[in-house]
Each structure stands twice: as structure tokens, then as C-alpha cells.
Amino acid sequence: MLKKFFILLVCLAAFSLGGFCVILFFTEDRKLFFFSALNRETKPEESAEPTVRPNPTESPGRSLDPCPDVPPNLRGVLHVEFRTNRTLQDVRNHVGPLIQQGGRYRPTSCRAKQKVAVIVPFRNRSQHLNHWLYYLHPVLMRQQLDYGVYVINQDGDGAFNRAKLMNIGFNESLKEYDYDCFVFSDVDLVPLDDRNLYRCSDHPRHLSVAVDKFNFILPYATIFGGVTALSKQQFLKVNGFSNTFWGWGGEDDDLSQRLSYRGMFISRPDSVTGRYKMIKHGRDSHNDPNPNSVQKLTETYLNMDTDGINSLSYTVREIRKDLLYTFVTVDVQAPAG
């Protein structure tokens, strides 16, 4: 009798062990499956890792140590090419799951030194935007920035106004988060060295100092187009960009003059670190050279206190959150162009 009972006990134990193994097997399997699915598909909604992702709208963790001055994982010179056709989904897959909806990121291992809004003026350059996102997100992450990407899309086909879009980006990004540094970047400029930090410094910073289109030299000393970084304070000190440069050219020189009139200097990386590749393009429609720009540049000093952030007027048509960026479509009240 005792022997039978003992055999029954052994059978029961073996059965439970077997059952346990089966459960374990399926759990592991499903977990593996879940992770591989994540790696293959990074649709914006699915790529979230809710338990480990920081919420960038909350203030950065007080308990983290500040990030080091020199980010430790930079690579230096980068290989950049624009021949590959990149879809937005390709870029989402490439950039990976660490980005938060709206193109937001901040390091998890340390407290970022600055909160950076990256503002990109835009209209009808989707292929450029895909390349830009493909290269920039990994760089900005390696630079350990607490950042967000804002693509400011001019609605309609009136005259393009790059500078006003920048002002709008400044305004709109600040409604979302307490940014203290603003990087203004053309959509077609990709850095060739990730040691060129997308951060602000004591003086307004011109980052795109050696662009391939200009044979990697600075065309003139006061140039302030391409990619620039200004702290909130520096930007407000000059009342932002002018809102009244319609069409191509002049708006960058106007900002450069504003800086100089307010006693600021232009800071730059060296010409090796500051190398850039520009995506080749022709002139866009509705962005012809501005015939008034030469005259307007003689009036910067007169106009800068009344034409800028303090006189900015526009209407937001739509704010769309992609995984990789916040896309703000705006009516800038453009004249025909």
C-alpha cells in the first residue's frame, strides 16, 4: 500500500515538473517572439518599452549624475551617403526603440547637460528629411542630449520663409518642454563628425563651418546659415529671426548682424569637426531669391526690436507626432511666391 502511494507521489511530482517545464518553455518562447517582433517592426506605437523608457515630459531624474562633458561613445568621422533610398519606416527601424514619440530622447544613464530643441524648416523635402533623421538621431543620442526634433512645415505654396519657421519652432517647442538650447538646422545638412556637439555655448554657435558644397571652407567670416545653436537667452536677446524675409537668402545674414549689434560673437568648431555634407538639390519652387534682401540688410538695426519673436503671428494647422519627429504644419501668412 505504502509502495503504491509512493509511486503515485513520484508520478504526481513528475507530472507537475513536466507541466512546469511546458509553461516555462512557452513563456520563454513568447518572450523571444515578442522581442524579435519588436526588432523587426518598429511602428511608432509598438516600439514603446513602457517599463524602461523615460518620459521626456517629466523633469529629468534628480538622482542621476550629470553626463560627462565629452560624451563617451562618439565615433568621430562618419560615413554619410545619400544614394540609398530610405523610407520613413526604414529610418524608424534603423533608429531603434529608444526614441519617444515626437522625436524625443534623453539619456537614461546620466542627466543631460542641456535640453535641446532641434528645429528644421520644411516644405516638400520628404526624401531629405528621411536622410536627415537617419543620420541625426543616432548622433544626437550618442551626444547624450535631452532633445526633441521639431519639423516646421510651411503650409500652402506662398513664398517660403525659413526664418519665420525657425521662430515658430522656437515658440511651439517651448509650449511642450522647458528647452534651454535651440539648434536650427536645414533639412539637407548632415554632419560628418559626431564630435560636433548639437549644444549651446557662451556665444551663439555656427556648426556648419565646412560644407562640401562650399569646398569645405567658410565662405565668409560672418556667415550664420546652415546649422546654428543659440541658447534661449541668446535668441531672445536678438528678438529671434526677422519674420519678413520672404524667399531665398538674407535671413541668415540678418541674424548674424543682430548678434553683432547685441555684442555677441559667433563661436565655431574647428574646420575638421565642423564638416558637413549637403544633399544635392536645385532651387525649390516658391523660394526664389529675395529681391529685397540687400536693402533689408541695411535696416537690421532699425527693425530688430520690432520684427522678431515679439511680433510673430501665424496659425497652427496641425501638430502630428511621428516616432521620429513632431511635425507642425503652419500658415505663415505668406504673400504669393
Active site (annotated) includes residue 65: no
Q: Which is nearer to ligand UD2, 139 or 227 (CB)?
A: 227
Alpha carbon 317 to its chain centroid, in Å, reads 21
Q: How near is the Cβ of 214 to Mn ion at its closest, in Å?
A: 11
Q: Report yes or no: 304 and 243 within 8 Å, Cβ to Cβ.
A: no
Q: How near is the Cβ of 330 to ligand UD2 at its closest, in Å?
A: 13
Active site (annotated) includes residue 283: yes
Of the residues 188, 193, 194, 253, which one makes contact with Mn ion according to CB under 5 A: 188
- Active-site residue, selected from the candidate residues 106, 125, 146, 186: 186
Q: Which does 273 bind (CB under 5 to 8 A by kind): ligand UD2, Mn ion, none?
A: none
Residue ranges with strand state E in the chain: 104-105, 115-122, 146-154, 181-185, 189-191, 205-206, 210-211, 227-231, 275-278, 315-321, 326-331
Stretch that binds Mn ion, among 63-71, 76-84, 99-107, 182-190 (CB under 5 A): 182-190
C-alpha cell at 99: 526614441
φ, ψ at 309 (rounded to 5°)? -55, -35
Q: Which does 193 bind (CB under 5 to 8 A by kind): Mn ion, ligand UD2, none?
A: none
Task: Using DSSP, state whether 228 is helix, strand or coil.
Answer: strand
Active site (annotated) includes residue 264: no
Among residue numbers 125 through 144, which ones bind ligand UD2 (CB under 6 A)?
125
Active site (annotated) includes residue 248: yes
- Active-site residue, selected from the candidate residues 123, 132, 162, 188: 188
Task: Using DSSP, state whether 66 is helix, strand or coil.
Answer: strand
Q: How near is the Cβ of 226 to Mn ion at its closest, in Å?
A: 8
- Active-site residue, selected from the candidate residues 146, 194, 251, 253: 251
Q: How far is CA 219 from CA 151, 191, 215, in A?
A: 27, 17, 9
Q: How near is the Cβ of 282 to ligand UD2 at its closest, in Å?
A: 9
Helices (H), 177-292: 232-237, 251-261
Distance in angstroms (rounded) separating the CA atoms of residues 59 and 16? 49
- Residue 182 binding ligand UD2, by CB under 6 A: no
Residue positions annotated with a catalytic role: 186, 188, 248, 251-252, 278, 281, 283
Query: For binding to ligand UD2 (CB under 6 A), which residues are involved?
Result: 121-125, 160, 162, 186-188, 208, 211, 225-226, 248-249, 251-252, 284, 287
